[in-house]
Amino acid sequence: MIVNTQRRTILPTGSSEDKSKATPSKATSMQERSRALLPHAALTEASATEASASASASASASASASQYRTKNRRRSPGLQLPLFVRVALTTWAAVSFLTVGLMQYGLLQIEPTSTATVTTTTITVTGRTRSTDFQQQQQQLRRQNEQHVQSTLPMSSFNVTETVTNQSLYYNLESAEQLLSNLPLWIQDYVMWHSRMRAQFPGMDLMTHPNAPPVLIRTCLGLCGGLHDRLGQLPWDLYLANATGRVLLLAWQRPQPLESFFLPNHPQLLDWTVPADFHTGFHDMHRVRNFTELFQDMPEDHPDDHFWNVQVDVAIERANRGEFRHVRVLRHRLLGHLGEGNLQERLDRAAVVGRPSEQIHSAPHFGRIFSLFFRPSLPVEGWMKQIMEEGQLVPQHYTAVHCRVRHPKATTSGNAFLGKNPKYRADKSGLPWVGDSRDFAIQIAHDALKCTSTVLSKHQSVTTATDSEPIYFLADSNDLVHHIVWELNPDLNPSLPSLLTHNSVSAINASGIDPAFYGLVQTLNIKARNVTMETAHLDLQKGRPPPAYYATFVDLLLVMHARCVVYGVGYYAAFGAKLSGTTCQYLYQKEAWGHQASKLARGCPSSGKVNPT
């Protein structure tokens, strides 16, 4: 399906054009809703450039046609065919010439019909697409919504083989068209404009062509946080790029380029990659640091109320009409998830009266935005499929349990464990698997699995662990995962039964195995990935090759596929649950100190210590 991407020109503030001459539109309310959020920079210039190119192409085609007619008039009549044959040939030639011409200029695209069981409709967006205006395009998208297109397919219809082989089963089964049409109108408009600009200015043209639009790059030069900090701010990224009229790009300098882990899921719509020749990778940190910051001289690292309510608008105005209006590349590194409420207030104020804006940070919009941006890279995808196949994990038919035992807020303030390298905390150099730190990790896992056991008992009635719903266990300590899945497994640890039969203090101390914890583990159907490699923290354990970080992304995707998610401190697993939109979330441990951000989890039913938040 071809969707027109011609973006209407927005007149800058103070334009002298007579607005009384505007043609009335049936989509007036929709226009008002979108106009407050549309970027103003570079649109008129881009539209004029495209119109000029179209006119040049038309003039060239007319000149060629004139020369063709003049040349043909000099030729002899030749063989005279019957009238009906000449009419048929003339019609066929005209249709063929028109079809080739339309395809050449991007107005028509012919694609083979898919025969796959799970079919999707691909939006084709090119820089030369020209037909109806923006209002007609939005009317088409609204008609699609009114047809109640099924956003996801029933997961019960998939078996394990389909799960690990069908490319559309990563984390969202919606096609590109469905993803886009189910998002707020201002995002739809921005994404289509973004796509048209990238098609019109491919590769380095985006950075060098005089008519190309300006660019906003989200960078990560050092301490950028974990996955939630880095990718949880996509709505703010879109808002800032939209408000400043800039093409949004993402570039990680640390710990490795983002493309090592995630790729554009729909590059024909939202290609966020920076041209390779522009050099914004791992070895270009000093070059990237010299790019002008969107929030220069503002507390971007530690934003306060004044920043959210005043300085964000100052920065946008400076980029549009102030000293940065001619700066081709701006960068930013804002932790936007800290200001989710502020962004929602902005969208609510811009909404048409009587039609409140959608909750962009909650399901299903947030997950759709993420899916519009990302799909796993081939190594991450391959490992995820292998885990699902070997563990017989079917989407929406297992529970994910996360233990964040290295997090500073897992212990009381000032009492964080030192790491395997005692010069650093455990969050940076790994949790030592000895003494108090080992006992602490096992106790956290015991609380998490006890909570999970109670949750599952409310949803199923089984007599053996192998009959119960699988549990995918993940933690930031590979030693903890190994202990639960391998050391406490009688099939993999032959000496385990004899150690436990002694049931003596000396035997327990010698084996390091708690009989009570062992008994709990044996009642559950626990699965895990290979943990021979430590799970490296993106922010605190930099300088390692990409495979050292794959596990972080694989586990996130597996959390996103789970029916239920059980988690404690930190926001990693909560982020995965937020992306999937599952309502089955349980919290077994709160942060021991500091700010307690809201999580969409209920209190663990195994104890009354944690209340719903």
Going 482 to 486 to 487 to 492, the CA torsion angle's sign is negative
Residue located via tokens 């639960």: 484
The helices-and-strands tally (H runs, E runs) of the chain is: 24, 12
User: pLDDT band at residue 433, thresholds of 50, 70 and 90?
Assistant: very high
Q: Which residue has the higher pLDDT, 303 or 160?
A: 303
User: pLDDT band at residue 537, thresholds of 50, 70 and 90?
Assistant: confident
Predicted confidence (pLDDT) at residue 324 exceeds the cutoff of 70: yes
**C-alpha atoms less than 13 angstroms from C-alpha of 56 in its C-beta half-sphere:** 6
Percentage of residues in the chain with pLDDT exceeding 90? Answer: 45
Report, as an integer, the average pLDDT of 22-43: 39
The pLDDT score that the predictor gives to residue 611 is 40
The residues that bridge with 215 in the sheet, in sequence order, are 247, 329
564-567 and 329-332 beta bridge pairing? unpaired
User: pLDDT band at residue 499, thresholds of 50, 70 and 90?
Assistant: low
Quick one: 532 exposed, middle or buried, by C-beta within 10 A (0-12, 13-18, 19+)?
Answer: exposed
User: pLDDT band at residue 19, thresholds of 50, 70 and 90?
Assistant: very low
Q: How many C-beta neighbours within 10 Å does residue 379 have? A: 15
Cis ω for the linkage preceding 255 (within 30 of 0): yes
Each residue of 204-258: pLDDT tens digit?
999 999 999 999 999 988 778 888 888 988 999 999 999 999 999 999 988 999 9
How far is Cα 573 from Cα 558, in angstroms, rounded to an integer? 10
Supply the DSSP symbol for 7: P
How far is Cα 150 from Cα 174, in angstroms, rounded to an integer? 8
**C-alpha atoms less than 13 angstroms from C-alpha of 165 in its C-beta half-sphere:** 7
Buried b (16+ CB within 10 A) or exposed e, 482-503: bbbbebbeeeeeeebeebbeee
Percentage of residues in the chain with pLDDT exceeding 70? Answer: 66
The answer to whether 130 and 6 have CB atoms below 8 angstroms apart is yes
Each residue of 104-145: pLDDT tens digit?
444 444 443 333 332 222 333 333 333 334 344 434 433 443
The pLDDT score that the predictor gives to residue 28 is 38
Q: In this structure, what token pair is assigned to residue 288?
A: 């990237």
The pLDDT score that the predictor gives to residue 356 is 65
Supply the DSSP symbol for 487: I
Predicted confidence (pLDDT) at residue 155 exceeds the cutoff of 80: no
Q: Which residue has the higher pLDDT, 35 or 86?
A: 86
Q: Minimum mean pLDDT among 37-51, 79-93, 156-170, 529-543: which range?
A: 156-170
Report, as an integer, the average pLDDT of 60-73: 44
Mutual orientation of helices 515-522 and 435-457 as an angle, nearest 10°?
A: 40
pLDDT, the chain, mean: 75
Domain map of the chain by residue range? 134-376, 378-603
User: pLDDT band at residue 268, thresholds of 50, 70 and 90?
Assistant: very high
The pLDDT score that the predictor gives to residue 375 is 94
How far is Cα 347 from Cα 405, in angstroms, rounded to an integer? 37
